[in-house]
Structure 1
């Protein structure tokens, strides 16, 4: 039986995780609305969506502009009739010590990365609540629970998304709504953001190893969109290890990150293109950055932990069955 094509909105779809997620939704035949600022990246993403078997709609929008986001959602419903899935993924960041980030820069990161999710969620709900159906996927990070040095604005925004999403989830459950919201917490991912992020570090920005390919994140996002009753998904063993360690030994983790996280977030070489905080990186350069960054050689395309998170029912059954067999063998041998 063929799957029903859905209407999916992906914000931050011009590159990185958003670009990979758009392709993944298109591969299952969905109609994909691509929201971002960068025109070059959006045009290339639309071409990939169509080649993957989906239908593409490009909407240029700054997610920090609430009215523009509402207008974008209306364009999607005008084109496709309704919205089934809304994926909040767009973000901005600054790599620098907190004291070297200006108030305007901190505000801008917060407006894009946090309020962009708030505005996107509000726009999605405006179209989903009357139909009493739909799923909102908040793309988060291990940094939604665990702050790291040199990313104070981004970590603060991700923490805010976590709290906001939990509040909204409770409200939807209280009202008995058929609209679902879920969150996908990602590990370090090989995306172009490390070449376009505004940075004041002496070295080039880089993800902290282990690094995962954006397709790993995309698979989790597509799964979460289809199973919105789950409140949260953890992607990657490093995410699980970080969140568990932060819950159990947060003070020790503070000291560990103070010792290691400055060097582990930099490598040798000059900074990439001018930061994309105020304008899209592909604007003045006329360049499509794609989904992958410069770390392909060290990145992994699989995650056993992600599989377990997406299939914990089957995994639990297998573990229970295995335990039952071992118990039966033990009893039989004692007879």
Structure 2
């Protein structure tokens, strides 16, 4: 198993989830402290760890990392693309170099990882690539334009790759897991220009929820994607039916919902250009600062299995509602 962004957050929790069943896990990330701690997690849980420091924006380095994994751990069965970085700020306050860097890590990092994985998987005609996505792959929100743009790009590009694999009748699979708001350290080390500290939009889920979904998707890759959490389901269905209404709602609420009451440290460097932990720094683990606010129940498995029917029903309801509204407007116009 290869997990990018394995030093913290969802990547860290996913590495633990694979280790729980004794897997050999290659840990890819930039931060030396987090990687060393992640390797200890894997070993303590019964897995075998290989630490590979790498910036996923560097395609040559990712290719070399894949070759190292194959040499030291054996053939790559599953590759999980998860690494990302971002900037919390209005679009007009994100510099061109910053926007490019987010795109190179959060989008092209997935491209680089998938290319490296397919290079080894396709000749063997087996293997799975899991793209860790987000509800924001379909629904953009304010203050996260760079991240939303990258996740939208991953969604479209991954569909193209899937179609090409189907065309060649390959047994290599790609699947995507769309996640909700999560209690990860990103909100404490993200580069921000907000007046107050950043936070995820509630409801907030623990990263272990995401990790279990990623592991399940890796084992069941025939489904093209999975939706995790009731908030993801509600957001994506609502966006399919009434995107304009969501635009206005998020315009009113999206700024305050993503900020805590405490003032932000706008001088903090963030993890855009350098890892948030660094070598010899502080290990942040998988969880962020919101353990006391997390959702206790997850309806993802049922919704994941019934997503096509739910989507069709929501679209039908939206079309029916639009027709009814038009009929009523015409009736009111004729009869005063």
With the length of structure 1 as denominator, give the TM-score of the two structures. 0.89
- Count of residue pairs brought into register by the alignment: 307
Summarize deviations over 1:47-99 as a string: whole Å, max 9, x none.
Answer: 00011110000000000000000000001000112100000000010000000
The one of 284, 289, 308 equivalent to 1:289 is 284
- 1:151 aligns with one of 140, 144, 147: 144
Residue 311 (structure 1) shift: 5.4
Alpha carbons of structure 1 residues 301 and 86: separation in structure 2 relative to 1, 3 Å? farther
Give SS of 2:107's match. Answer: helix
CA shift, 1:310, in A, is: 5.3
Answer whether contact 1:223 1:310 (CA < 8 A) is retained: no
Please list every run of 5 or more consecutive structure 1 residues that lacks an aligned counterpart in the other structure.
Answer: 1-7, 317-335
Residue equivalent to 1:307? 301
1:180 paired with 2:173, answer yes
Unpaired stretches in structure 2, ≥5 consecutive residues: 311-336
Per the TM alignment, residue 284 of structure 1 is displaced from its structure 2 partner at its CA by: 6.7
Please list every run of at least 4 consecutive aligned residues from structure 1 whose deviation after the TM superposition is greater than 6 angstroms: none
Partner of 2:216: 223
Structure 1 residue matching 2:262: 3-state secondary structure = coil
Summarize the alignment of residues 85-234 of structure 1 with structure 2, pairs less than 5 Å apart.
85-234=78-227
* SS of structure 1 residue aligned to 2:275: coil
CA separation in 1, counterparts of 2:280 and 2:25?
26
Return the alpha-carbon distance in structure 1 between the equivalents of residues 34 and 263 of structure 2.
23
TM-score by length of 2: 0.89
For the structure 1 residues 309 and 51, does the alpha-carbon distance in structure 2 shift closer, same or farther, using more than 3 Å as the test? farther
1:236 lines up with 2:229 in the alignment? yes
Paired position in structure 1 for 2:321 = none
State how far apart, in whole Å, the 2-side matches of 1:222 and 1:301 are: 20
1:276 to 249, 271, 280: 271
Q: Secondary structure at the match of 2:133?
A: strand
- Write the distance in 2 (CA, Å) between the matches of 1:176 and 1:72: 27
Looking at structure 1, the residues matched to 45 and 303 of structure 2 have their Cα atoms a distance apart, in angstroms, of: 26
Paired residues of 1:216 and 1:301 also in contact (CA < 8 A): no
CA contact (8 A) 2:233 2:303 kept: no
Q: Is the 8 A contact 2:194 2:264 kept in 1?
A: no
